[in-house]
Structure 1
């Protein structure tokens, strides 16, 4: 390509980086292939963009002056430090094979999915968005607001007195049960005219009435299920009528921002439809010829060199899209591949994309969102963020295969945790819809219905009884409540509770899986089909995996290049203690571990005597990451189930002190946990100070050295946004250190995905192929 051609490329490159904060705009030239061929001039342009965005391009002389950072591992033995058993080495000893071109389907769908659905060309199955159903997406599949009449209005403000999240004082979008100002108001919703083609957007979207329900009617009579004055909503200066209203309803639905909820921004979809489709609040409407949940598949017979949207019309998508390696046709980024091969189901929308479309709260169920100017931004800590992030990682992974017949494993990405955020507010989604049980019941029933759909649609679940199917159950008590018909599968969760029999430990009624329920859809009492048949976790077939933490969360850790600080805090914990009167009268939360230790620390002045910081946000203040980096020991105790305290400890180099009997922590079944942590029985927890004081300085040093050898296994770098976040944090520390990365132990992994949590999972799965398949591992 001539320099003049490279100059023509400049506007496109600039668009790709203009919306990114400093340090994140690292343009990957490989993503342009095969659409352009970069020459020396274009490469110079890439380097200048990298430097202007806060990246670092070191010269040879600079590299020579840099302090020596330990190298990344090269041999299987180096990769497998502090692992137990033989699961790690075989993955690194297998022989790579040539990656074949991706399989491309060409089976047409009935009626072309009526113009609203998405055809899965491998099988000729229509996947329909919320509001539509049937084999060709021509049938209505509604989610009405609570107490809604046939005109999408409330049945009567005074006829029914109960409150519901989805009860609507305006007009309901009954595809997703979202409430808007009524059409007779100035900013009311006006639907598409009768007879308009399916999928036609409304004439006017309207202002939302989410969490805005009237406390009185027009005459001043009290409305039992509302809390906002009638005039504030429907008066002349109210939300639904005034250009600048005196009262503002919250704007929290995905795709709309601003105090007036009138600024349209991109919505969240898994991997943003790979830049090959338009996102509709979680459902990808793929461009012609593209298909799959992430629109990464190309129909057979069609060309593959169409550039994704972020190459032209939507450059703001670039930071949020991780190009799927398996979709490359022909393969180029990684032309060779290793096992395991993972097939990712396009799960029926009822159990996947519907849940995203129903969520309404844009910050639920994911780790990122779009803000002003379509800037991709991180969502503050979300306990269930791993669900969407892991789905994206599987889709982008080099281990993904589009051929289920060659797959070693099958990943089933149902929205188990996301369902917890939407379940119970509305008759849908529920299985069966007439039963409103606790949230674990809803999730377990959804999973059972998924298996029934898999068996009715595909042959692969029945082939091995589900033993090669992978499920993520990221909620508080994990897989405790799954049905016995599903239990033979591989369960990834954050909760490694091993005792049996077991009962729910949740003090939150809606999450207690011990409620008895009978229904014809399951054989007798559901508990007899679920929690009474298996433990919550089986270390022989399941794995406790880390919660997702972005690198910014542990920015003060020496492992990402921060300046090491004295670990002057002897023991640290900050978190929920449920100390408010009446909040937890039975002291059930955290098995009463956190509360007991907090009360003892206060009674015996541990803070003054030993510099122990143990409390909640009000009693232990300061920067959380810095406090962890200044701590020698960190308490790891349960919450209402799992708690990500082990990850916090390990990622900061603080020695974990684990107190929770018969519960395995993250990777405890595959790593040498005693070499870098301390476990104390619950009966001995009041002796925690004397136990920790008895550990010698040499033992402490060995545990700290070992933490540096495993910390990277507790973070995920499988998606572009996570990698750039790591690069950004490391770049900041490098700049503060005169342009060089501090050679702290473990820092060689600072921004490297080598042996991260997902890689660890792949290594473990590879070793289990013979057991799962009943054959020798294939190479």
Structure 2
């Protein structure tokens, strides 16, 4: 294991153990942030930047001696941590601990990938400690395979079944971070990949422990822990792909075409280099596919961010407490019973949220709607447009016939929220594919408009009859489960994701796309 130096003692003869110095200003030569993984002492006392995007990015935080926090963070169960806007440092607890001084043992969220460790182990501080005979993220593995003859790569991939092998990556390549420092942890909006992994580890029908029979390979990059939602994914993704390519033979067999991983950042794959775009299957929330795009930081002028014949657009997770889909199933049972009619929906449409500026934000859609409604005098009484947060957002979802679903800087949640609350989505996202759109009949439950249609949207929406609206609501009742990850709310997004992956496998077998762009080393 590499050495990781948090500080350099001025008198090494008196430096024993790993506890923080009482007075690091006088006792150390250097100390400020979390150490980088794999960091070794550098005589220049500078932090190398070869792995940008790791947890000790140069943010506005400092780590202090434990003595400056309550009960010394229970003797090291956390670190004494302070953001620049805090008045005093606080304990930032390691996984498995909670409380003001990390005094409470709490593993309730520590092993999110397998809360019960599959019944074959125990969650301890973010790791599944497995019973003898089991190993892996969620104690899901029992067997490791290797070729019978060195150098020979057996091919026993089935043609009639989807079989996926998940790589077990070492902690220093991809692993959930020990702390949540507010930048490299978890966020409810970006947890779709967590739900996929959690369900996949228990999916004995699709998951295989034998990589030689797998026809797809799952690379658990855990990117959100390394880059959050807007930082550069390339260093971490490159590190992981290089490790997979050098330590297993399967990536090189197809140039990565049968490998997949999640990129759930706001713009997904838009900023990654072309060799990375053209190789593996990426699961993203933002489906921009447009020729000749001129957005800053989007270098691919051929198709911008995704190719739907290869990449898979999946729905994000709606986990806002006031908007959880706890009543969605009952609502759609009522919709079906009433043959799609809903007399409670008296508003034509609504939108509430940020408007932004510039053509990149929402593709100019939000600004165009604001301009339209500002020009109408009087404003239609059955239209609600709120710039900013609306305290009655839930009520608006439940009383509107149409709910506007634009994107923002990248993907947005409004499509999912509209569907979960029975509101017909009005999707205005030029050149952006929606979740599962290549095999899900959106015309049965949503309305699409172009940016160019916005000046006439009010009169266009009024042309829909009650019978047509009822038919669209029945379509929502048929397909809403595809947009919900939580199985406790009857969600089937995991199953629809598998269907999408199986479709990509068929595309590979049909030679619909090839690996054209060679990586530049």
| TM-score bucket of the superposed structures, by smaller chain | 0.7 to 0.9
Q: Does residue 258 in structure 1 map to residue 99 in structure 2?
A: yes
Q: 1:408 to 1:160 in 2, by over 3 A?
A: same
* 1:121-132 matches, cutoff 5 A: none
For 2:217, the equivalent position in structure 1 comes to 410
Q: Distance in 1 between matches of 2:244 and 2:184?
A: 30
For 2:110, the equivalent position in structure 1 comes to 268
| SS of alignment partner, residue 82 of structure 2 | coil
For 1:210, the equivalent position in structure 2 comes to 81
For 1:439, the equivalent position in structure 2 comes to 231
Q: Which moved more, 1:594-603 or 1:631-640?
A: 594-603
- Structure 2 residue aligned with 1:660, among 429, 444, 459? 429
- Structure 2 residue aligned with 1:349, among 151, 156, 171? 171
Q: Distance in 1 between matches of 2:6 and 2:271?
A: 29
Q: Distance in 1 between matches of 2:480 and 2:9?
A: 52
Q: 1:255 to 1:478 in 2, by over 3 A?
A: same
For 1:714, the equivalent position in structure 2 comes to 483
Q: Does residue 490 in structure 1 map to residue 296 in structure 2?
A: no
Q: Does residue 455 in structure 1 map to residue 245 in structure 2?
A: yes
* 1:99-114 matches, cutoff 5 A: none
Q: Distance in 2 between matches of 1:502 and 1:561?
A: 39
Q: 1:555 to 1:638 in 2, by over 3 A?
A: same
* 1:633-644 matches, cutoff 5 A: 633-644=402-413
State whether residues 633 and 655 of structure 1, in contact with CA within 8 Å, keep that contact through their aligned partners in structure 2: yes
For 2:192, the equivalent position in structure 1 comes to 386
TM-score (norm 2): 0.75
Residue segments in structure 2 that go unaligned for 5+ positions in a row: 36-46, 48-53, 145-159, 336-341, 512-521
* 1:183-202 matches, cutoff 5 A: 187=70, 189=72
Shift of 1:210: 2.4
For 2:65, the equivalent position in structure 1 comes to 182
Q: 1:258 to 1:445 in 2, by over 3 A?
A: closer
Deviations 1:339-375 (A, max 9, x none): 211111112323421x422544599326xxxxxxxxx
Shift of 1:690: 1.5
Residue segments in structure 1 that go unaligned for 5+ positions in a row: 1-132, 134-138, 168-173, 191-202, 213-224, 234-248, 301-337, 367-381, 423-437, 506-512, 515-526, 579-583, 717-721, 727-750
- Structure 2 residue aligned with 1:676, among 421, 427, 445? 445
For 1:694, the equivalent position in structure 2 comes to 463
State whether residues 92 and 179 of structure 2, in contact with CA within 8 Å, keep that contact through their aligned partners in structure 1: no
Q: 1:205 to 1:704 in 2, by over 3 A?
A: same
Which structure has more RCO (C-alpha within 8 Å, separation ≥ 6)?
1
Shift of 1:405: 0.8
Q: 1:642 to 1:698 in 2, by over 3 A?
A: same
Q: Distance in 2 between matches of 1:445 and 1:417?
A: 13
Shift of 1:385: 0.8
Report the count of equivalent residues. Answer: 453
Deviations 1:288-330 (A, max 9, x none): 4321122122369xxxxxxxxxxxxxxxxxxxxxxxxxxxxxx
State whether residues 411 and 470 of structure 1, in contact with CA within 8 Å, keep that contact through their aligned partners in structure 2: yes
Q: 1:605 to 1:571 in 2, by over 3 A?
A: farther
- Structure 2 residue aligned with 1:593, among 358, 365, 370? 365
| SS of alignment partner, residue 439 of structure 1 | coil
RMSD across aligned positions (CA): 3.9
Q: Distance in 1 between matches of 2:134 and 2:283?
A: 30
State whether residues 135 and 141 of structure 2, in contact with CA within 8 Å, keep that contact through their aligned partners in structure 1: yes
Q: Distance in 2 between matches of 1:659 and 1:413?
A: 32
- Structure 2 residue aligned with 1:365, among 175, 179, 186? 186
Shift of 1:271: 0.6
Shift of 1:769: 3.6
State whether residues 713 and 760 of structure 1, in contact with CA within 8 Å, keep that contact through their aligned partners in structure 2: yes
- Structure 2 residue aligned with 1:297, among 136, 141, 153? 141
Q: 1:672 to 1:226 in 2, by over 3 A?
A: closer
| SS of alignment partner, residue 570 of structure 1 | strand
State whether residues 384 and 418 of structure 1, in contact with CA within 8 Å, keep that contact through their aligned partners in structure 2: no
Q: Distance in 2 between matches of 1:448 and 1:259?
A: 38
Deviations 1:635-690 (A, max 9, x none): 01011111121111222222111112111112222122223222221123132212
| SS of alignment partner, residue 209 of structure 1 | strand
State whether residues 628 and 649 of structure 1, in contact with CA within 8 Å, keep that contact through their aligned partners in structure 2: yes
| SS of alignment partner, residue 383 of structure 1 | helix
Deviations 1:500-557 (A, max 9, x none): 343546xxxxxxx45xxxxxxxxxxxx5xxx467531111112211112369612344
For 1:611, the equivalent position in structure 2 comes to 382
State whether residues 555 and 562 of structure 1, in contact with CA within 8 Å, keep that contact through their aligned partners in structure 2: no
| SS of alignment partner, residue 80 of structure 2 | coil
Shift of 1:561: 5.8
Q: Distance in 2 between matches of 1:576 and 1:277?
A: 46
Q: 1:688 to 1:451 in 2, by over 3 A?
A: same
Shift of 1:469: 0.7
For 1:38, the equivalent position in structure 2 comes to none
* 1:504-543 matches, cutoff 5 A: 504=295, 513=297, 531=300, 535-543=304-312
State whether residues 351 and 415 of structure 1, in contact with CA within 8 Å, keep that contact through their aligned partners in structure 2: no
Q: Does residue 468 in structure 1 map to residue 204 in structure 2?
A: no
Q: 1:483 to 1:277 in 2, by over 3 A?
A: farther
State whether residues 257 and 280 of structure 2, in contact with CA within 8 Å, keep that contact through their aligned partners in structure 1: yes
Q: Distance in 2 between matches of 1:645 and 1:712?
A: 16
Q: Distance in 1 between matches of 2:469 and 2:34?
A: 54
TM-score (norm 1): 0.52
Q: 1:187 to 1:406 in 2, by over 3 A?
A: same
* 1:729-744 matches, cutoff 5 A: none
Q: Does residue 421 in structure 1 map to residue 228 in structure 2?
A: yes
State whether residues 181 and 207 of structure 1, in contact with CA within 8 Å, keep that contact through their aligned partners in structure 2: no
Shift of 1:631: 1.5
Q: Does residue 575 in structure 1 map to residue 360 in structure 2?
A: no
Q: Distance in 1 between matches of 2:500 and 2:63?
A: 49
Q: Distance in 1 between matches of 2:138 and 2:324?
A: 28
Q: Distance in 2 between matches of 1:653 and 1:629?
A: 7
Q: Distance in 2 between matches of 1:358 and 1:672?
A: 42
